[in-house]
Amino acid sequence: LSSSVLQGFTCTGVRTFKKVQIKKLIKACRRKGKRKVTLVETQLTCMYNYIKNDSDATTFELFPPDMLMYYDYSLVPEAMCRSYFDQLSDADFSVFSSDLSYKRSALFVNARSCLGITNTSLTEDNVSVLGNMCCVLDGSYIENSDPSILEKLNNCPDLTDAQAAAVETLLQGGKTQYGAASTWTLQTLKDLEMLPLYLTSSFYDHFNKKTKRTFLKYFLTVLKSNGVSRKKRKSLKKEIRKSIKNKSKRSVAAECTVGEINQVIISDETFPFDYDDITQFNCCLSASTVKNNLDGITDKVDDEDYLKIVLSKLHEAYSSSDIPEDQVQLLGPASRVATVENIDMWTITQIDTLSSLMDSDNGDWDSSLAKAIVSKYLSTEGNSLGSTELNSLGGTNLCFLDVDVLQNISSQSLK
């Protein structure tokens, strides 16, 4: 069976199956790498309930690692605890719901006891057995442990700020396989795989501007292919930009000296990296370029001060006339730096425009701006807040609306 078919496993769906068939399905869900069957908590707890009393329930290598997280640990024989945690090492510990997150904490407590861990300095063997459980460790463990922990942290779906700071401390200590900071190169950045996504400007201070540019071009492509959110990519670019600002002086020139921004420059994956001086970005970006390349610009520019320049140039391009609907749909994150006066100059008559403006990937809305957009949309004769509009607005933005607007929403639209 394919992974996508197995992903549809439910307690309801297998009710009519014989138990032996259900067990075969559960065991078939044990796959690794790209073939891994992604399962949610309700599926995993259901699976465990089917096998927990069986004689082979402690043959841990037969079952999906994620399911092992829901085992009743008191039933794991003490002599087999290492084997249990070894098989659990491939599990995704982010699957736990808030209701059962206490199990995640309990697992590490039990792992400490099983492996004889008495302090925050994990050995290479400890790290190897814990595997993906390293993703739930706090910073004190990360910075004091064997450097092999970095390899495990690369598998984490996310790192907290404290975990990232600990990774940075461990790296800058110079005792990892990457050596002293003075020896780091472009290859070091690539070898760190996903970890650079979480590191700060202090880390990037160790690389020259050319290396950072080359790496950013490479890494942004990797991140996009892995479906990493724009919010995380924005954070990465912010830290790299900060490390450049630390070393460069703000230009006082009132003319463009870096090079006029055109379609070719905008198409570069790293844009606007070469315009780290915002004065140069302003001087080198013309209103007509913004008008003709808005999609490409808003796809890459994340910094709020830069976005304010982009929006200002767009309004300049249209002078005193309204911004056309097709352009409003391309504003992306630039919409979030608008004023109510700006929004008054936008054409918002179509549901597609409302939906594009409300795309949460572009950031949260200020309440006054969200209200202004909805008012602008409703000012077009025939427009109302139907179910499609409500879905595009989302819960938070709906809360910003005035009572008189909410009273005009029909009960049918809320179904």
Kindly give the confidence (pLDDT) of every residue in the chain, 415 residues in length, as a single tens digit, with 9 standing for 90 and above.
666 778 778 887 888 888 889 899 899 989 877 788 888 999 999 999 998 888 888 999 999 999 999 999 998 999 999 999 999 999 999 999 999 999 999 999 999 999 999 999 999 999 999 999 999 999 999 999 999 999 999 999 999 999 999 999 999 999 999 999 999 999 999 999 999 999 999 999 999 999 999 999 999 999 999 999 999 999 999 999 999 975 655 666 689 999 999 999 999 999 999 999 999 999 999 999 999 999 999 999 999 999 999 999 999 999 879 999 999 999 999 999 999 999 999 999 999 999 999 998 999 999 999 999 999 999 999 898 888 888 888 777 777 777 777 667 766 655 5
Phi-psi sector, 375: left (phi>0), alpha (psi -120 to 50), beta: alpha
Question: What type of residue is 255?
Answer: E
Q: How many domains, in total, are found in the chain? A: 2
- Where does residue 355 rank: exposed (0-12), middle (13-18), buried (19+ CB within 10 A)? middle
State the Cα–Cα distance between residues 355 and 231, nearest whole angstrom: 19
167 and 268 housed in the same domain = no
Q: Residue 158's closest CA among 207, 213, 221, 229? A: 229
272 and 174 housed in the same domain = no
Residue 110: count of CB within 10 angstroms of its CB: 16
Tell me, yes or no, whether 226 lies in a domain. no
269 and 121 housed in the same domain = no
Residue 94 CA to its chain's centroid (Å):
13
Number of helices (H), then strands (E), belonging to the chain: the values are 25, 0
Which domain range does residue 157 map to? Answer: 3-178
Tell me, yes or no, whether 193 lies in a domain. no
159 and 282 housed in the same domain = no
pLDDT value at residue 100: 93
Phi-psi sector, 174: left (phi>0), alpha (psi -120 to 50), beta: left
163 and 282 housed in the same domain = no
How far from 344 is each of 309, 328, 341, 356, 373, CA to CA, in Å?
18, 12, 5, 17, 8
SS3 414: coil
Tell me, yes or no, whether 227 lies in a domain. no
Chosen domain end from 129, 148, 178: 178
Tell me, yes or no, whether 223 lies in a domain. no
Q: Which two tokens stand for residue 179?
A: 């050596």
- If residue 236 lies in a helix (H) or strand (E), which one and from where to where? helix 230-245
- Is there a contact between 284 and 259 (Cβ–Cβ < 8 Å)? yes
- Is there a contact between 37 and 29 (Cβ–Cβ < 8 Å)? yes
Tell me, yes or no, whether 115 lies in a domain. yes
SS3 323: strand
- Is there a contact between 64 and 30 (Cβ–Cβ < 8 Å)? yes
Instruction: Output phi, psi for 352, to 5 deg.
Output: -60, -35
Tell me, yes or no, whether 245 lies in a domain. no
Q: Residue 81's closest CA among 52, 105, 112? A: 112
Chosen domain end from 161, 178, 195: 178
- Is there a contact between 328 and 295 (Cβ–Cβ < 8 Å)? no
Handedness of CA 99, 102, 105, 108 (dihedral sign): negative
Torsion of CA 105, 106, 109, 114, to 10 degrees: -140
Instruction: Output phi, psi for 323, to 5 deg.
Output: -75, 125
What's the alpha-carbon Rg for the chain, to the nearest Å?
26
Tell me, yes or no, whether 89 lies in a domain. yes
State the Cα–Cα distance between residues 285 and 283, nearest whole angstrom: 6
Question: What type of residue is 250?
Answer: R
166 and 289 housed in the same domain = no
30 and 170 housed in the same domain = yes
17 and 143 housed in the same domain = yes
Tell me, yes or no, whether 232 lies in a domain. no
169 and 268 housed in the same domain = no
State the Cα–Cα distance between residues 22 and 52, nearest whole angstrom: 13
State the Cα–Cα distance between residues 136 and 104, nearest whole angstrom: 8
pLDDT value at residue 158: 95
Chosen domain end from 178, 209, 231: 178
Per-residue burial over 148-168, b = 16 or more CB atoms within 10 Å of its CB, e = otherwise? bbbebbeebeebeeebbbbbb
